[in-house]
Structure formats: structure tokens, C-alpha cells
Amino acid sequence: MKQVRILLLGAGESGKSTFLKQMRIIHNLGFDPDTVRDFQHVIYLNCIQGMRVLVDAQRKLGIPWENPQNSLHGDILLNYHPGFVDQWTFTKYVPSIRACWSDEAIRKAFSKRSLFQISDSVEYFFENMDRITHKDWIPTYNDIIHARRATKGIYELMIPINRVPFHFIDVGGQRSQRAKWLQCFDSITSILFLVASSEFDQVLLEDRTTNRLEESRTIFDAIVNNRIFLKVSMILFLNKSDLLRAKLARGIKIADHFPSYTGDNSLESVQAFILNSFTSLRRHDKSALYYHFTTAIDTENIRIVFNAVKSTILKQNLANLMLE
């Protein structure tokens, strides 16, 4: 059977790279020692930059320190200049990160995180500081899944599944990276389009005015109605279901950002609304459109969902071969 080419598309931070990390884990490819070491430095950087963002937000929002002495720790973090972070450098910032995270002012700033740009994973790392700061710490799969760095350029991964080569192509989702998408459109079997469903109350990193969910809808509209893809199956992942559930539980209402929404604030109603806001964009029904609600950081969730996706793609691939 010919190879399956799956193109991963979606806005920045929708979970495309996380999904590919899960593919490596689920199919027992793992990560080589150099890659693990790279992620160690990425995680150190995520911790420092994450707390820097929170201190900056705490000050801009005018939230007073619970312990005024922590203002000095905040200064130390704000004076950090981004760059490569080794273990020795990270160790210098650990006391300040710990002090700030234990201060109620930073927790209050964190509760208002939809107002500014911060990675979803910082809480996970701050809650695991005892482990991460140990001198013999080696990132676990879960640590690597939570590590965040923007995809620049094109990343490809080939995995043989059921004796069929699955060729995954991940392209950066930020606006500056989208010009590279066109060169990946050749002989695609399926498009896996990821949406961060929890980002209904957040704006883009790139322009600070466009709603992130609206940006995803705009991109999806352009892809799903493109004549090039009339015979390509579309698989829609409404991702970050865990964060959406938590956000709704905190009383954040989607109707405040999407006035056309008239349902209650339950996860099921909100997911149905978000799903319809994407599927209703399609102006034809010439190709299949599948959807799944996903949590890309949850390996078991992705294992189950990908089994369904794989079966769909292999059946379709076989049908296409029989038509040729």
C-alpha cells in the first residue's frame, strides 16, 4: 500500500507538535539522548520565561505582593535576558521562581492568564519544581509532552504502521510560518486540523486583537473550501478539552466572547457550539470530514483517537487504490 501523507495544520499553540510527540511515544520511537537534553534546556527556559510573564502581568494588573520582599525576586526574573539555559544558569533563578509561585499575587495574576500570553504548561512545571531542580533530573515523557517551543519551518516524521508508511508533516502555525504551508500540499492523503478549543477568550500572540478561536475558524475556512483539497479527508481535532473543561468550571462564559451562543456553560453544550462553528464553514460535501474532541497531553486519549483516525485513513486509502 502506498504511503499515507498526513498534513498537520492549525494556528500556533493548537497542539500539533504535542500530537507528534505522542506519535513517537505511542509507536515506541521515544527520543534520543540529545533530544532529551534539548528538552531539558527548553523546560528550564519555559520555567524562567513563564514566571517572567507572570511577574510582568502582576505588575501591569496592579496586584500587590502578598509578601513585599518577593518584589526583589520579581526584579531578578524581569532582568533575565532570554537565551540558552543550562542547569547552572537555571539554578540561579530557582529561588526566585519558587518565591514568586508561592505568593498569592502571582496566583491571582495566573488566574487572569487569558488577558496575556503565557504557555499552558507553566503550572505543570511550577508544581513539579522539586523534581525538575534535582541535579540528576532527566525529563520524562510527560515533561517532554508539556515542553513548549514554537515550530519554525517544517518538521517531518515517518512511522510504519500496519506495514504502511505514515508520513506526518508539521508546519509552524504562527502567521509568519504559514507561507511555508503551500509547499507541503502535494499528494496529501489527509489533513489533520487542530484547534485549541479552550482559547475562546484569548487573543493572538501576533496581533493582540484577533480572537484565537476566530483565527482558527478563518484558517479552517480557507483550507476546507480550497479546491486543492476537495478529495482529501479532513480530520478536525478540537483539542485542549481538559483546559476547556477547567475554564468553564471557573465560570468563564463563552457567551461573553461569542454572543451568538445561547446555551448553558456545560462542556457538552460548548463543545457542540464550537464544533458547529467549524463544520458549518464547509461549502461542499465532496470529501469526508471527521472530528474528535482531544487532549493532546493525554497519551491514552491520543492513543484511542489515533486508532480511530488510523482505521479511517487506511480504509480510505484502500478504497482509493481500488478506484485507481
| Whether 59 is catalytic | no
Going 249 to 192 to 220 to 204, the CA torsion angle's sign is: positive
With contact defined as beta carbons under 8 Å apart, do 121 and 146 qualify? Answer: yes
From first CA to last CA, the distance across the chain in angstroms is 12
Is 62 one of the annotated binding-site residues?
no
What whole-number distance in Å separates Cα of residue 179 and Cα of residue 212?
Answer: 19
Contacts of 165 (CB under 8 A, 6+ apart): 3, 4, 158, 159
18 is in an annotated binding site: yes
Contact, 70 vs 97, CB < 8 A?
no
Q: Is 163 a catalytic residue?
A: no
Q: Which grid cell sits at 69? A: 520582599
Residue 74 assigned ligand-binding role: no
Q: What is the mean pLDDT of residues 53-64?
A: 97
**What secondary structure letter does DSSP report for 187?**
T
The residues near 284 (Cβ < 8 Å, ≥ 6 apart) are 225, 230
- Kindly report whether the global pTM for this prediction surpasses the value 0.95: no
Alpha-carbon separation of residue 252 from 27, 112, 117, 215 (angstroms)? 37, 11, 17, 20
The reply to whether domains 4-31+151-323 and 33-146 share a CATH topology is no
Q: Give domain limits for the chain.
A: 4-31+151-323, 33-146
List for the chain the helix, strand, coil content (%; round to 5): 50, 15, 35
CATH of domain 33-146: 1.10.400.10
Whether 174 sits among the annotated catalytic residues: the reply is: yes
Judge whether 288 is annotated as a binding position: no
Q: φ and ψ at 310, to 5 degrees?
A: -60, -45
231 belongs to an annotated ligand binding site:
no
Q: Which of 5, 58, 103, 170 is catalytic?
A: 170
**What is the architecture of the domain spanning 4-31+151-323?**
3-Layer(aba) Sandwich (3.40)
pLDDT digits (tens, 9 = 90+) for 276-312: 999 999 988 777 899 999 999 999 999 999 999 998 8
Active-site residue among 3, 117, 133, 174? 174
**From 148, 202, 271, 295, the catalytic residue:** 148
The predicted-structure confidence for 5-31, as pLDDT tens digits, reads as follows: 999 999 888 999 999 999 999 999 999
131 a catalytic residue = no
pLDDT tens, residue by residue, 178-213: 455 555 566 788 999 999 999 999 988 777 788 999
Q: Is 170 a catalytic residue?
A: yes
